[in-house]
A and B are shown apart, each in its own frame.
Chain A
């Protein structure tokens, strides 16, 4: 109840800023949507879908890190297990893609609830380590469980047809399905960030003892944002499984958790659009530099070092300083 009475008071002073922001954010969202609608005619749709899945994943992660101030080092667990469940649902249970994605997302949410409930009891590096430990457990489960296919993963997942009506096997049709899913996911994250709930989160991030002293049940907020983040990461993973018709160990491996941290930091932690940019940069690099083989990881490392040295706020963080508006 303290939550109900407390939140409007906190939200009040911020909401002016929120209204002011909404205009240029609206333009950016409109531009993104417009770009998303035309892009498959210019660029390779499968590549774009990969970027979108990772963008959603990074934004979900950013919700936790950038706004909740919680550094999880085990987000691959939600991304990966959702992709396994979604792939299994589509292939073995024969569900339509939207139901498969939904099943995967729910799996991500439940796993988030279980891991989150334990992990939020610790803070800082211990929190990160606990999430990493759980993610490793999920990895070993994925390696050993009979339905995950071990190191082969779940392959040849059918793309199926949307609601049993629209055949999703052509890349471009699937693209618009993914665009819709990811765009709605992004709008949801935006809504969460700019809700009173999001304001409380920022308050907790900035000064947890003060939030406690104001009467907020901090752990509930933390758990809530953890589960939301896990759910959205699950949504990204579940969609990716349908796009690539494959769920594999890569998605649950700890490097995936590291990659999403990299995307978020490079793009700009705690910005709305930063993770999008970060994900696009990293995925593009992995894609177009693939011919350089081992050099990809070295180039990636160099770019990360440069990023940390030159623009610590991330690409979008720096941009937002230039234009003097939060992006």
Chain B
């Protein structure tokens, strides 16, 4: 008994000595794809974005020591869940950031909830993160499938693209995206004249594109992602689909995808994003710094979301004076968000971050004034209309 008492006293003394130093040390883990198809839109760029947030926040001056580590989840949910578990159990990570690929994000969502830590997702698309699988420990920052379907779907119908044809990747994500977009299109007064499902992952889209071309649709909705989207856009260009008067609507296309495709191929594509480097002075200034720190690539909305998420988290750490996850999450939801990239916004009770979304059209090569000048702003979707209404998500926290 005596010995254990002694040990306890010693332990308590050490703990008190620890807190007496007043510094809060937080450890951020950037978990994303660093080698596969999403390495460009997240990858090392997200780590740079997180570092920039720490610098811009002047964390060191405010007595907050921040350490950032990163790992590659290879877009696999099992790898993501293993790393997340290990980070929380062993490495003392407080927050996991980014996590593109919905399946991996949902896995981290579960582990984070179980371990009561904080998960600020930027890269994943699934709206389930703030819907049926919502968690009190998760903030979904940048975008989701509902916002993309809503942005691209309703805007295209309003600009005259009433008849839709879907090219859908034949798995759960593709089906969900097609379903959500169909609902939006029909609600806006459009109609879906047909759809075709291609195997996932696919390489030859010619027969599907020919069906789409002959369907009489005004808009061809690409309910797929990554390599499938790139391949279908490339092959659509070979068939002259956009030149023939049909519009391509990419439901999940990132700036880096357009960069990889080139304007000649991607021109005329309509897409929804929540951030573009050339939006205003603040985004231009930040993006310029970002490009200098990295290898010259402009940031994607995913990387911008990591920056803004870290900034908001650090503000919450400063405000609560500690890093207790429950207090931090409450603070993050209570405090309005304000950052140079997404402007003013808020984090909703279900974890959904609310801000404006933008509908862009990819420029033709002769309209582009230089490197990375790819998008033309078509319209702004105001924050209150950009995301799924709280009541529709089926999140238990919203009740």
Q: Which chain B residues (189-241) contact chain A, with CB distance < 8 Å?
A: 200
Is A113 in the interface zone, CB < 8 Å from B? no
Pair A244/B103 contact, Cβ less than 8 Å = no
Is A19 in the interface zone, CB < 8 Å from B? no
Q: What 1/0 flags go to A228-260 for Cβ under 8 Å of B?
A: 000000000000000011101011000000000
Is B288 in the interface zone, CB < 8 Å from A? no
Pair A156/B110 contact, Cβ less than 8 Å = yes
Q: Helix, strand, loop or mixed for chain B's interface?
A: helix
- Please name all residues of chain A whose beta carbon is closer than 8 Å to the beta carbon of B107 when the two chains form the complex: 153, 155, 246
Shortest CB–CB separation between residue B40 and chain A, in angstroms? Answer: 13
Sorted from nearest, which 3 A-B pairs have the closest CB atoms? A150-B172, A294-B35, A293-B34
Q: Which chain A residues (266-310) contact chain B, with CB distance < 8 Å?
A: 287, 290-291, 293-294, 296
Is A46 in the interface zone, CB < 8 Å from B? yes
Q: A44-B86, A293-B34 are in contact. Are A250 and B172 (CB under 8 A)?
A: no
The residue on B at minimum CB distance from A152 is B103
Which residue of the partner chain, among B34, B35, B72, B85, contacts A46 with CB atoms under 8 Å? B85
- Please name all residues of chain A whose beta carbon is closer than 8 Å to the beta carbon of B34 when the two chains form the complex: 293-294
- Please name all residues of chain B whose beta carbon is closer than 8 Å to the beta carbon of A152 when the two chains form the complex: 77, 102-103, 106, 126, 172
Is A167 in the interface zone, CB < 8 Å from B? no
Q: Which chain B residues (270-296) contact chain A, with CB distance < 8 Å?
A: none
Shortest CB–CB separation between residue A44 and chain B, in angstroms? Answer: 6
- Please name all residues of chain B whose beta carbon is closer than 8 Å to the beta carbon of A143 when the two chains form the complex: 171, 200
Is A222 in the interface zone, CB < 8 Å from B? no
Q: Helix, strand, loop or mixed for chain A's interface?
A: helix
- Please name all residues of chain B whose beta carbon is closer than 8 Å to the beta carbon of A244 when the two chains form the complex: 78, 81-82
Chain A to chain B contacts (Cβ below 8 Å), 26 pairs: A44-B89, A46-B82, A46-B86, A47-B86, A50-B82, A143-B200, A144-B170, A150-B171, A151-B102, A151-B172, A151-B173, A152-B106, A153-B78, A155-B106, A155-B107, A155-B110, A156-B110, A244-B78, A246-B78, A246-B81, A248-B78, A250-B76, A250-B78, A290-B79, A293-B35, A293-B72
Is A149 in the interface zone, CB < 8 Å from B? yes
Pair A153/B90 contact, Cβ less than 8 Å = no
Is A206 in the interface zone, CB < 8 Å from B? no
Which residue of the partner chain, among A44, A46, A248, A287, contacts B77 with CB atoms under 8 Å? A248
In the bound complex, how far is the Cα of B80 from the Cα of A250, in angstroms?
Answer: 12
Shortest CB–CB separation between residue B326 and chain A, in angstroms? Answer: 20
Is B83 in the interface zone, CB < 8 Å from A? yes
- Please name all residues of chain A whose beta carbon is closer than 8 Å to the beta carbon of B71 when the two chains form the complex: 290-291
Number of A-B contacts (CB under 8 A): 74
- Please name all residues of chain A whose beta carbon is closer than 8 Å to the beta carbon of B85 when the two chains form the complex: 46
Pair B86/A153 contact, Cβ less than 8 Å = no
Q: Which chain B residues (34-91) contact chain A, with CB distance < 8 Å?
A: 34-35, 70-72, 76-79, 81-83, 85-86, 89-90
B residues near A, CB below 8 A?
34-35, 70-72, 76-79, 81-83, 85-86, 89-90, 102-103, 106-107, 110, 126, 133, 170-173, 200
Pair A248/B76 contact, Cβ less than 8 Å = yes
The residue on A at minimum CB distance from B44 is A293
Q: Which chain A residues (136-190) contact chain B, with CB distance < 8 Å?
A: 143-144, 149-153, 155-156, 171
Which residue of the partner chain, among B90, B170, B172, contacts A149 with CB atoms under 8 Å? B172
The residue on A at minimum CB distance from B36 is A294
In the bound complex, how far is the Cα of B71 from the Cα of A291, in angstroms?
Answer: 5
What 18 additional pairs, Cβ within 8 angstroms, besides A248-B76, A248-B78, A291-B72? A44-B90, A47-B86, A150-B171, A151-B103, A152-B103, A152-B126, A153-B77, A155-B107, A155-B110, A171-B89, A244-B81, A246-B77, A248-B77, A248-B103, A250-B79, A287-B86, A290-B72, A293-B35
Tell which of A149, A251, A290 has the most Cβ of chain B within 10 Å: A290
Shortest CB–CB separation between residue B262 and chain A, in angstroms? Answer: 24
In the bound complex, how far is the Cα of B360 from the Cα of A160, in angstroms?
Answer: 48
Shortest CB–CB separation between residue A241 and chain B, in angstroms? Answer: 10
- Please name all residues of chain A whose beta carbon is closer than 8 Å to the beta carbon of B200 when the two chains form the complex: 143
- Please name all residues of chain B whose beta carbon is closer than 8 Å to the beta carbon of A44 when the two chains form the complex: 86, 89-90
In the bound complex, how far is the Cα of B173 from the Cα of A246, in angstroms?
Answer: 18
Shortest CB–CB separation between residue B325 and chain A, in angstroms? Answer: 18
In the bound complex, how far is the Cα of B276 from the Cα of A172, in angstroms?
Answer: 47
The residue on A at minimum CB distance from B83 is A290
- Please name all residues of chain B whose beta carbon is closer than 8 Å to the beta carbon of A155 when the two chains form the complex: 77, 103, 106-107, 110
In the bound complex, how far is the Cα of B82 from the Cα of A151, in angstroms?
Answer: 17
Q: Which chain A residues (66-119) contact chain B, with CB distance < 8 Å?
A: none
In the bound complex, how far is the Cα of B85 from the Cα of A317, in angstroms?
Answer: 35
Tell which of B77, B79, B170 has the most Cβ of chain A within 10 Å: B77
Pair A153/B110 contact, Cβ less than 8 Å = no
- Please name all residues of chain B whose beta carbon is closer than 8 Å to the beta carbon of A171 when the two chains form the complex: 89
In the bound complex, how far is the Cα of B106 from the Cα of A149, in angstroms?
Answer: 12
In the bound complex, how far is the Cα of B114 from the Cα of A155, in angstroms?
Answer: 13
The residue on B at minimum CB distance from A247 is B78
- Please name all residues of chain A whose beta carbon is closer than 8 Å to the beta carbon of B35 when the two chains form the complex: 293-294
In the bound complex, how far is the Cα of B173 from the Cα of A155, in angstroms?
Answer: 15
The residue on B at minimum CB distance from A151 is B103
In the bound complex, how far is the Cα of B246 from the Cα of A80, in angstroms?
Answer: 43
In the bound complex, how far is the Cα of B102 from the Cα of A149, in angstroms?
Answer: 12
The residue on B at minimum CB distance from A292 is B72
- Please name all residues of chain A whose beta carbon is closer than 8 Å to the beta carbon of B172 when the two chains form the complex: 149-152
Pair A151/B89 contact, Cβ less than 8 Å = no
In the bound complex, how far is the Cα of B89 from the Cα of A143, in angstroms?
Answer: 31
- Please name all residues of chain B whose beta carbon is closer than 8 Å to the beta carbon of A46 when the two chains form the complex: 82, 85-86, 89
In the bound complex, how far is the Cα of B222 from the Cα of A40, in angstroms?
Answer: 49
In the bound complex, how far is the Cα of B171 from the Cα of A155, in angstroms?
Answer: 17
Shortest CB–CB separation between residue A176 and chain B, in angstroms? Answer: 17
Shortest CB–CB separation between residue A316 and chain B, in angstroms? Answer: 26
In the bound complex, how far is the Cα of B199 from the Cα of A144, in angstroms?
Answer: 11
- Please name all residues of chain A whose beta carbon is closer than 8 Å to the beta carbon of B82 when the two chains form the complex: 46, 50, 244, 287
Pair B78/A151 contact, Cβ less than 8 Å = no
Shortest CB–CB separation between residue A240 and chain B, in angstroms? Answer: 9
- Please name all residues of chain B whose beta carbon is closer than 8 Å to the beta carbon of A156 when the two chains form the complex: 110, 133
- Please name all residues of chain B whose beta carbon is closer than 8 Å to the beta carbon of A250 when the two chains form the complex: 76-79
In the bound complex, how far is the Cα of B200 from the Cα of A84, in angstroms?
Answer: 20
Shortest CB–CB separation between residue A251 and chain B, in angstroms? Answer: 7
In the bound complex, how far is the Cα of B200 from the Cα of A144, in angstroms?
Answer: 11
